[in-house]
A and B are shown apart, each in its own frame.
Chain A
Amino acid sequence: MILQAKNITKIYGKGQTAFVALDRVSFSVARGESVAIIGKSGSGKSTLMHVLAALDRVNSGTIACNSKDYESLRASQLDGLRSKHFGFIFQQFFLNGRETVLENVLLPLKIAGVGYGARKKRALAALEAVDLTDKKNNRATDLSGGQKQRAAIARALVNDPEVIFADEPTGNLDSENGARVEELLFSLNRKKGITLIIVTHDDDLAKKCDRQFYMKDGQLTEAKKK
């Protein structure tokens, strides 16, 4: 199991206004799997992704990546985990519009402290993989929505992650571009063995994953195998 969560609970706020976002959720993902977490907004699916990705701490329960318990790791070690082992894709892309596509893609490597030559080489390879080589020197703001998300995918895979977390990766895209992004993600999953965790409310996208989980009122249930 690459990711394992046991009995995790996440509560926002205190006292009367407390809101249980995750209610004793247990969840595990094997290496190389593609997993969809499906739910309506407010169901807690994004919170689940955040705690799995070590972006947020849980109130109780344990989460481990490669058998390393998050609770036992220092903040800087969790930063290292995200920097070296995880990749992120967001619905809103979060590209820096003023900078070139290449600069956006090599940001994770810059953060990880990779030297100038190596990071440029790896970023170009990632751009090649998403077929954006010809746009490398364009400003990110000049790209179309589909191109932006492909640039974001390049950024997510540039550090050779074990897991890519994708939060509504096709949510802001038309069906044609959405399909292309999906195709890219699943080919990364198949060819490179990158574990995919996709948070979505799109059932069609979810069905393409190996396993589907439904999130409702902070509780997680796995869909029956068809």
Chain B
Amino acid sequence: MKILDIALTANRNLWRSKLRTMLTILAIFIGGFTLTLTTALNTGASQYLDRQLGNIAVPGIFEVTPKVDFNPVGGDDGLREYDPDNKPASFDSFYSASMTQEDIDKVKKVEGIESVVPMYQVASEYIIGTTGKKFALNMVQQNFGLNLDLASGRHLKANDTASVVMPEGYLQALGMDAQHAINNKVTIAYKDRTGKVIERQFTIVGVARKAIVTTGTVHMDVNSVKTMAEDQGQPERYLELIATFKDANESTDESALKARLEGAGTYTATSFKESIGTLTTVVGAITAALNVVGIIALLAASFGIINTLLMSVYERTQEIGLMKALGMRRGKVFLLFAFEAALVGFWGSVVAVGAAIGASALINNYASANFLKDFEGFTLLVVNPGGALFVIGLIMLIAFVAGTLPAIKASRLNPIEALRSE
């Protein structure tokens, strides 16, 4: 028997007992639908994260922090000997800022390092635009390692002074728009260590688009931040250092750079790419957990397939016997039933994927009008062709495997006994 004939015969046999087949397909449908939606959620979230974060991390930039021992001191173990290089973590973030000029010098000596700057802790009071009105502003961010999504202008550079990149959303209140904000001046005020308000003028060099990690942050060049930190009396101790390597690009092996940094002292080095990777991993883990639900539904459904096909083999014993008597080979009889199982998987998954595409459209519509309103460009569920084909393939495989038991039973039937059975 030719393979095409086997497939066509299997499909025809499948629809002999319509209700039974429909119910089996329904079980597969539920699993397939769940799996398609969870896969779509993963794709949607990953695409959004990629768009938001994918290019934001400049390669070769690391946060360097002291390696801390998270074992608490005291308690049952009593006191332990003091070791300046292996201090227990402090719960006071200000005190635990333990990176000093000495550490900066150490890290600077690491091979391939372009620059090392401390991460300053600064606070601001208000901002004034072209309208002269004061707006509360409690934080400015030192520029480091982030490739902001710019609506206009340029990124901050290491040698900039009195420069800022403004978030797009602030411009209107300040009396500007994205196209005409560049080179405009803003005044940012902060309190010095004695509480006196200091106003400084900054030039807008760039305007950043809205994104989840950078929304509402005014980015300031590192030199200005340094001045601000000094005015505010930040001690020469820092929570972390920002180390930038020369000539790093997307294909650079960051693990080697990381090892070099960590080898320079008792440090922990984390690249920005790595931090963002962690976020993607978390999304992956959540959707993987959801996928498990779909897979369990499919496993339950596969027992339905086994049951249905066993009944079918029992009912068609005589027919199978006849086909074997007429010279149909064992392997072909096996295929006939295994194909039937795979077809249950095929129809179930195709309908499930179709329904999931429809449901995704409805859910996306609702989501973007409601709970995802503030997440511009976040399509919650994305069914891509590859994912859909993967789901269909996976389900057909599961169904085929489920079909092997009844198929083996059918292929082993003795034609004489099968023909004798009533």
With contact pairs A76-B329, A98-B16, A110-B5 given, residues A90 and B323 touching in the complex (Cβ less than 8 Å): no
Contact indicator per residue, chain B 290-332, by CB within 8 Å of chain A (1) or not (0): 0000000000000000000000000000110011111111101
Kindly state whether residue B31 has any CB partner on chain A within 8 Å: no
Contact A111 B415 (CB under 8 A): no
Q: Which of B322, B325, B419 is most buried by chain A, counting CB atoms within 10 A of its CB?
A: B325
Kindly state whether residue A80 has any CB partner on chain B within 8 Å: yes
Name the A residues within 8 Å of B324 (CB-CB): 79
Name the A residues within 8 Å of B328 (CB-CB): 79, 83, 111
Contact A82 B2 (CB under 8 A): no
Q: How large is the interface on B (under 10, 10 to 19, 20 to 34, 35 or more residues)?
A: 20 to 34
Kindly state whether residue B136 has any CB partner on chain A within 8 Å: no
Contact B416 A82 (CB under 8 A): no
Kindly state whether residue A81 has any CB partner on chain B within 8 Å: yes
Contact A82 B323 (CB under 8 A): no
- Bound CA span A79–B332, Å: 11
Kindly state whether residue B369 has any CB partner on chain A within 8 Å: no
CB nearest to A51 among chain B residues: B416
With contact pairs A55-B325, A83-B327 given, residues A50 and B416 touching in the complex (Cβ less than 8 Å): yes
B322 contacts which of A56, A83, A94, A113 (Cβ < 8 Å)?
A: A94
With contact pairs A56-B416, A94-B419, A110-B5 given, residues A82 and B326 touching in the complex (Cβ less than 8 Å): yes
Kindly state whether residue A70 has any CB partner on chain B within 8 Å: no
Contact A96 B416 (CB under 8 A): no
Contact indicator per residue, chain A 78-120, by CB within 8 Å of chain B (1) or not (0): 0111111010101000101010000000011011110000000
Kindly state whether residue B1 has any CB partner on chain A within 8 Å: yes
Name the A residues within 8 Å of B322 (CB-CB): 94, 107
| Contact residues of A: prevailing secondary structure | helix
Kindly state whether residue A11 has any CB partner on chain B within 8 Å: no
Contact A96 B319 (CB under 8 A): yes
Contact B5 A79 (CB under 8 A): no
- Bound CA span A112–B5, Å: 11
Contact A108 B327 (CB under 8 A): yes
- Bound CA span A187–B2, Å: 33
Contact A79 B1 (CB under 8 A): no
- Bound CA span A111–B329, Å: 9
Kindly state whether residue A179 has any CB partner on chain B within 8 Å: no
Contact indicator per residue, chain A 173-211, by CB within 8 Å of chain B (1) or not (0): 000000000000000000000000000000000000000
Q: Which of B319, B322, B329 is most buried by chain A, counting CB atoms within 10 A of its CB?
A: B322
Kindly state whether residue A75 has any CB partner on chain B within 8 Å: yes
Contact A107 B326 (CB under 8 A): yes
With contact pairs A55-B415, A94-B318 given, residues A111 and B323 touching in the complex (Cβ less than 8 Å): yes
Name the A residues within 8 Å of B319 (CB-CB): 94, 96
Name the B residues within 8 Å of A82 (CB-CB): 325-327
- Bound CA span A113–B318, Å: 21
Contact A81 B327 (CB under 8 A): yes
CB nearest to A115 among chain B residues: B2
Q: Which of A80, A84, A96 is most buried by chain B, counting CB atoms within 10 A of its CB?
A: A96
CB nearest to A47 among chain B residues: B416
- Bound CA span A190–B327, Å: 26
With contact pairs A94-B318, A96-B319, A98-B16 given, residues A111 and B416 touching in the complex (Cβ less than 8 Å): no
CB nearest to A80 among chain B residues: B327
Contact A113 B327 (CB under 8 A): no
Contact B2 A88 (CB under 8 A): no
With contact pairs A96-B319, A98-B16 given, residues A90 and B419 touching in the complex (Cβ less than 8 Å): yes
Contact indicator per residue, chain B 90-123, by CB within 8 Å of chain A (1) or not (0): 0000000000000000000000000000000000
* A180–chain B nearest beta-carbon distance, Å: 23
> A55-B415, A94-B419, A110-B1 known; 14 other A-B pairs, CB under 8 Å?
A55-B416, A56-B416, A75-B329, A76-B329, A79-B328, A82-B326, A83-B327, A83-B328, A94-B318, A107-B323, A110-B5, A111-B323, A112-B327, A113-B1
Q: List 18 A-B contacts (CB under 8 A).
A: A50-B416, A55-B415, A76-B329, A79-B328, A80-B327, A82-B325, A83-B326, A83-B328, A84-B327, A86-B327, A94-B322, A98-B16, A107-B323, A107-B326, A108-B326, A111-B323, A111-B328, A113-B1
A-side interface residues toward B, CB under 8 Å? Answer: 50, 53, 55-56, 75-76, 79-84, 86, 88, 90, 94, 96, 98, 107-108, 110-113
Identify the 7 closest CB pairs spanning chains A and B, nearest first. Answer: A83-B327, A82-B327, A79-B327, A111-B328, A94-B322, A108-B326, A79-B329
